[in-house]
Structure 1
């Protein structure tokens, strides 16, 4: 029976992981191309991408509120309710897009007041504006992705992500370096390529949902269902705590990027490289975590608490295996990773110095990803925002400042704080999940 859980989770999770790796390959390609174009562009991309990663992951967290709703309805065979939930999710994500775009616009007008190297501002500003224009398309794509994942159709989003990211890489090459008669736009070219690919991915999802037989049974509920207070409120009640939890986790990295910016352009460039590496591991683990959430929501809809618990445990075992598989090669290649992205020896040396604290937090990252998704699967998200605040704002960020500036450990010290935040978050999520499921049993 347990073997069936391993097989089912892998079957569901591998397409999500492949799609997530596609996103990471894009991040790698961006960083490689920008880094070989100019060190200033790499440093500027580091800061702007960290700010937008915070916004995007916050918005992605909000869209995850749809997963337990769709998963539970699908587990109960309530097909009309699935289409109606998607319609309400698109409305909620559109409203959130307006709010987040206004917040990011306010940040844009204060770029000069954030203590970043002044020579980077001409690179940051146009890149920032292009990414800002792409934000609504990220939210609409997320809504469709959570719908298809929730009905266990994870291959669709995988192929769309892979296609969009391939297009983005080709666009990067053309626009960053000025190929095929296009002007050499550098970092701004990377932003334009990202905008175009995000628009096209939403268009493809719309064509699939409204123009193919694949989703015919869900279109009826989408067309006849109305945007209503009950569904809209439920999605917001689930979405905001998840968004807050993921936003605070990402904020601990984004605010650390601001602290690293105080150390200069070299430190910021090394941070961007390590974030690209970190995102590979995170997305692999998170792909399996998303599968855990979907499977648990299906079982939760059927009131099968025994299989809810079994799925969470099996998911953690699989994520631990992934931690080992990613950590070993990263450690062995620690002196070569920096050189893949830049010819600057100082940046490469700084990257090698941060590998050990980076590897130390992989267990904690896997733990918090698995049990945060397990809690989403049973729609118990009210307290995860509080746990995140404690882990990241009361533990991780103060420790980063203490190690980096009070103890004078620099970039390595700031990275050394992350194991404390991520592991403490994972422990709190695990204890909450165990408490809730024991209470249900």
Structure 2
């Protein structure tokens, strides 16, 4: 197992959950930052219509992120259980299956997304005034979605091994890359809104490559070798059993946001830009809950594999209470400073 990994079946569960959750929180924070970077740069440099174009598909992108993060989380549960049970062959089969399924999902998302982008935006009631820019942005995002899917796949394997520091470093690096390319493409070169999506695609692909590089160097059954990918049916069934409910659960809020977005689109570009700014702020507010959920998922899976039920109950109780307290503090802060936070994305009063 890697030096950055945390074995969660022994020692103080409180310190282990916190140590694992903090890098996850910081990583999610940077992920939200580079998601927000597109809106910040586009809204302040190009203008409200461009921000509306980015925002018009924001809820759909968040739905996809929630879905694939949930699927990856479920896949990580399967791998973590195998690690906790110390059955190396099962771990190898689970890793090979998860990576193979990740590539298949990535290819399907590219094909479906690129072909159906205009129809999706029309179905969502995107205003005609921003339709060309919206199609350009979403199509570029779909075209590069393999990087996003594989990044989530790779970090699910790292997190299943108890490594939350690696994903943090990769997200910091990708955030810097995304912001740098946003500034180069939009601020310096004055290119179109599609290049903002391209900046995100480059950053996501870069972080996926970093995560893969770490996994291919691992010693032990969790090592990823692209030459030996194979779908093992028992592991595929387990991955679906855990991943699909997790993915659907993660997507439920986003599904309602897509429906709401469709109605808001009827009010024009300024309304779309406004809801887009709100969505970015909302993403930050959910960070503590998301981070502790991921930490507890790995904690429960490893201890379930080791048969330590009492330890699971104690750890879950502690993690939930701590997450709720932190979420309340952040919620009050967002409520207090809401006008200033929204103005960061677009200073236009309307």
Same fold, TM exceeding 0.5? yes
Return the match for 2:180 from 157, 170, 178: 170
Question: Quick one: structure 1 residues 294 and 325, their matched pair in 2 at CA, closer, same or farther if it must change by over 3 Å?
Answer: same
Q: CA RMSD in A?
A: 2.0
Match of 1:216 in 2: 219
- 1:252 matched to 2:256? The reply is yes
SS of structure 2 residue aligned to 1:335? helix
Return the match for 1:55 from 49, 55, 64: 64
Match of 1:90 in 2: 99
Deviates more, 1:143-152 or 1:318-327: 318-327
- 1:140 matched to 2:143? The reply is no
Match of 2:3 in 1: none
Q: Distance in 2 between matches of 1:262 and 1:276?
A: 20
The answer to whether the Cα contact below 8 Å between 2:91 and 2:222 also exists between their aligned partners in 1 is no
Q: 1:79 offset after TM fit, Å? A: 3.3
Structure 2, unmatched stretches of 5+, are: 1-10
Q: Distance in 2 between matches of 1:47 and 1:325?
A: 30
Q: 1:113 offset after TM fit, Å? A: 4.7
What is the correspondence of 1:11-410 to structure 2 with a 5 Å cutoff?
11-37=19-45, 38-110=47-119, 111-177=121-187, 179=188, 183-210=189-216, 212=217, 215-218=218-221, 226-346=230-350
Q: Distance in 1 between matches of 2:229 and 2:201?
A: 31
The answer to whether the Cα contact below 8 Å between 1:12 and 1:291 also exists between their aligned partners in 2 is yes
The answer to whether the Cα contact below 8 Å between 2:56 and 2:261 also exists between their aligned partners in 1 is yes
Deviates more, 1:64-73 or 1:161-170: 64-73
Match of 1:356 in 2: none
SS of structure 1 residue aligned to 2:339? coil
Bigger-Rg structure (1/2): 1
SS of structure 1 residue aligned to 2:125? coil
Q: How many residues align?
A: 337
Deviates more, 1:233-242 or 1:266-275: 233-242
Match of 2:7 in 1: none
SS of structure 1 residue aligned to 2:267? coil
Structure 1, unmatched stretches of 5+, are: 347-441
Question: Quick one: structure 1 residues 79 and 283, their matched pair in 2 at CA, closer, same or farther if it must change by over 3 Å?
Answer: farther
The answer to whether the Cα contact below 8 Å between 2:24 and 2:164 also exists between their aligned partners in 1 is yes
SS of structure 2 residue aligned to 1:345? coil
Q: 1:170 offset after TM fit, Å? A: 0.6
Residue-by-residue CA offset, 1:282-325 (whole Å, 9 max, x unaligned): 12320111001111111111222212211221111111121122
User: Which ranges of 4 or more aligned residues in structure 1 deviate by more than 4 Å?
Assistant: 219-226
Residue-by-residue CA offset, 1:230-281 (whole Å, 9 max, x unaligned): 2122212322222222223311112211111112222211111111111012
Match of 2:5 in 1: none
